Amino acid sequence: MQQLMNIELYRQVLTKYWGFTSFKPLQEDIIKSVAEGKDTLGLMPTGGGKSITFQVPAIAREGICLVITPLIALMKDQVNRLNTLEIKSVAIHSGMSGEEIDIALDNCIYGDYKFLYISPERISTRIFQARLQRLNLNLVAVDEAHCISQWGYDFRPSYLKIVTIRDYISEKVPFLALTASATPQVTEDIMKKLAFKEKNVLRTSFDRKNISYLIRKVEDKGTYLIKALHKAKGSGIVYVRSRKRSKELAELMVANGISADFYHAGLPVELRDKKQSAWSTGEIRVIVATSAFGMGIDKAEVRFVIHYDIPDSIESYFQESGRAGRDDKPAYALLLYSPSDKRHLEDSLRKKFPPVEKIKDIYEALCNYLQVPYGSGKDNVYDFNMYDLVSKYKLPVIETYNSLTFLQREGYIEFTEEINNPSRVHFIVGRDDLYKFQVANESFDGFIKLLLRSYTGMFTEFVTINEETLAKKSALSRDSVYRFLMRLSALNIIRYIPGKKVALVIFTEERLVRKALKISPENYLHVKEKYIMRLNKMIDYADFNTRCRAVTLLDYFGEESDRCGICDVCRERNELDLSKYEFDLILEEIKDILAGQKPDAQELVSKINYPEEKVIKVLRWLLDHNKIVMDDRHLLTWKEPDLFSR
C-alpha cells in the first residue's frame, strides 16, 4: 500500500512540473528501486528521459539530491530549467570563484534547495568535503556513468573519486548511476567502482524499431549527400569529424538550395545557442555539426541523422544516430562510407596517440604558459586559450589537443571546452547598511534601485545579471553600467564578477618535473589497444553487410534481438524471398564447408541439402557482397575481414 502511495505521489510530481501523466518505459522501475534505498544502475537510450528518474523522487522526498555530471553546459541548462519551474537548484563547477562556491554550499545546507549539481573534479576539494556531511542528501545521481570505467570510451579519472562520497554520508542514501551506452563489461565496472551494495541493473531495450540503419558505400560523398537531402523529408543532423568540414558542407547545402547551418565547439557560445535554437524551431532544416552538437537536444521530430564521416566507436555512433525519431515515427540513420575512410582513421589514430615524449613536451608547455611553478598548482583552476598556447609555442593543434586529453586520462589535469560564464552580483552588506549607504551616496542610489528592481535573491547568493539589459533599462551606456558595478565592488557594497567566455584547465596534481611525469608504456599501449578495438568494431559495422545493422548494434551492448527488417542489409535479404531462418541456415552450412575446402560453385551447391534455387540465391548474395571470393580457377573462399592489425 505504501509503495502504491509513493508511486502516486511521484506521478503527481511528474504532472505538476513536467505536465506528463505517466512515466516512460523503465522510468517508474528506476524510481521504485531508488525509493527502496537500492543502489541502481539505469541503462536508458538517448532521449529516454534519464533526468526524470532522479529529479522526480528527489522532489518528492525531504532533502537534497547531489547530481554529478562532467558536462558543465548541460549542468547549467538543467539548473536553469529547474529554477524556471521554481525548484531551487544550484550548480558548482570549475568556472566559479571560491566565494561563489562557499555561498552556494551554505545555501544548500541551510536553505530549501532540492538539487546540487557538481562536476566530478570538485569532489576531492576541501571546501566540498567539509560541507558534504552536513548536507541532508536523499540521493546521489551520477550522470554519464560510463566515464567511471576504464573500459568505457570516455574514461575520466575524476569519476573514480565519486565513491569517496560514501565516506561522508549515511549508508542509507542510494546511488543512481545513469548512462545511455554501456557494454556488459562497462556495466559491471560501473557497479564495482561505485561500490554498489548489490548488483542492480535496470535497463530498457536499446532497440529503436522506428530507425532504419543504412550504410551507403560511395566515393563522392558530397554529391550523394545533396541528392539524399533533396529526397529526404523533415529536419535532421549531419555529423562530421572536423570543424572546417562542418562549415564547408553547410555552404555546399545552401548553394544547392537546402536550408542549413553549421555548428562546432569553436564558435562563441551565443552563436552556438542561436544556431541550435534556429534548428530546433525549424528555421533551419539541417544542422552540420561535430560531436559537440547533441547535448540537451530535446527535438523529437528529427527525421534523419547522417554521418558524413565514420565515428571512432559504436557508442558514439549509437548515441548520435539515436537523436533521430524520438517521436517514435519512422526515421533513418545513414552512414556514408568510402574505402578512403580507413586510411583517414589510420591517420587520425596516429594523431590521437602522440609519442609519450611529445605528450610530456605539451605538459611542460602548458605549465609554462599558465606560469605554474614546480610543486604547486594542485586543485587550481586556470583560464585557458588553447589557440594562444599553440601559437605561442608553435605546436600542432590536433596533437596538442590529444596530448591534453591523454594527460586528463592519466589524472594530471582536467580541461573543459569554452564555458560561457555570465556576470554575477552578490550584495555583501545587509539591507539596513545598504539603505544608509544610499542615503549618504545619492549618486549611487538610482543605480542600486535599478539592480534591486531588476533582480531578486542578491542578498543571499550570486545572481546572474546582464549589463546590456541594465543599460537599456536605465538609458546608461554599457560602460557606465560597468563602472557603477566596479565602483560598488571596490566600496565593498557588492561582489561583482564580470562575465567571460573561456576554457578552463584544472590541475588535479601539482606540477611535476618531467622525469616524474609517469606515462607508462604499458598504460599508453593499453589505452591505445582499447581505442583500436572500438575502432575495429565500428569498421566491422561499416564493412560487413551480411548481418542486420540493428542486431549488430544491440549485440555490442549485450542485447539479443531479431533482425529489424528495415535496415539496408535486411531490405536486400528481404528481396531474396528467404526467411531469416532459411538464410542463416544456408549461410552457416556454406561457412562450414568453406572452412575446410575450396569447392567451385556447382560442387558447393551440391553439398548443401537444401533446395538448389535457394542455395544459389544465398551464394550469389555472398559473392555480390564480397563475403566469398572466387579465384581464377573458379574456386570459392570465405573472405577474412581486412581490418587494422590488432
> DSSP per residue over 458-511, as a string?
TTTS-EEE-HHHHHHHHT--HHHHHHHHHHHHHTTSEEEE--EEEEEEEESS--
Instruction: Give phi and psi for 313, each to the nearest 5.
Output: -160, 155
Asked whether residue 521 carries a pLDDT value surpassing 90, the answer given is: no
The residue-averaged pLDDT of 293-297 equals 72
Least confident of 73-82, 423-432, 548-557: 73-82
The residue-averaged pLDDT of 442-446 equals 93
Pull the grid cell for residue 273: 545557442
**Predicted confidence band of residue 3 (pLDDT cuts 50, 70, 90):** low
Cα distances (Å, whole numbers) of residue 46 to 168, 205, 208, 364: 32, 12, 10, 39
Number of H helices, E strands in the chain: 25, 22
Q: How far apart are CA 128 and CA 167, in angstroms?
A: 13
**Predicted confidence band of residue 1 (pLDDT cuts 50, 70, 90):** very low
Q: How far apart are CA 369 and CA 375, in angstroms?
A: 16
- Quote the percentage of the chain above a pLDDT of 70: 97
Pull the grid cell for residue 145: 556513468
Q: Is the dihedral of CA 289, 295, 296, 297 positive or negative?
A: positive
| Distance between first and last Cα of the chain | 57
The pLDDT score that the predictor gives to residue 295 is: 65
Is the pLDDT higher at 140 or at 606?
140
Nearest-CA neighbor of 535 among 291, 313, 309? 313
Contact (Cβ atoms closer than 8 angstroms) between residue 624 and residue 580: no
Pull the grid cell for residue 490: 571596490
3-state secondary structure of 104: helix
Q: How far apart are CA 65 and CA 135, in angstroms?
A: 9
CA 138 to chain centroid, in Å, comes to 26
Q: Which of 112-126, 186-200, 594-608 has the largest mean confidence?
A: 186-200
Asked whether residue 349 carries a pLDDT value surpassing 90, the answer given is: no
Q: What is the mean pLDDT of the chain?
A: 88
The residue-averaged pLDDT of 338-352 equals 84
Helix pair angle (27-35, 2-18), 10° resolution: 130
Which residues, listed in sequence order, are joined to residue 177 by a DSSP beta bridge? Answer: 41, 142
Non-local (6+) Cβ contacts of 231 within 8 A are none
The residue-averaged pLDDT of 501-517 equals 89
Asked whether residue 640 carries a pLDDT value surpassing 70, the answer given is: no
The pLDDT score that the predictor gives to residue 58 is: 94
Q: How far apart are CA 456 and CA 214, in angstroms?
A: 52
The pLDDT score that the predictor gives to residue 646 is: 31
**Predicted confidence band of residue 376 (pLDDT cuts 50, 70, 90):** very high
3-state secondary structure of 392: helix
Cα distances (Å, whole numbers) of residue 607 to 279, 586, 614, 630: 58, 11, 13, 18
Cell 562497462 sits on residue: 186
Q: How far apart are CA 378 and CA 356, in angstroms?
A: 22
The DSSP annotation for 417-428 comes to: S-EEE-EEEEE-
Asked whether residue 60 carries a pLDDT value surpassing 70, the answer given is: yes
The pLDDT score that the predictor gives to residue 87 is: 94
Is the pLDDT higher at 207 or at 115?
115
Contact (Cβ atoms closer than 8 angstroms) between residue 121 and residue 506: yes
**Predicted confidence band of residue 582 (pLDDT cuts 50, 70, 90):** confident
The pLDDT score that the predictor gives to residue 438 is: 93
Contact (Cβ atoms closer than 8 angstroms) between residue 123 and residue 168: no
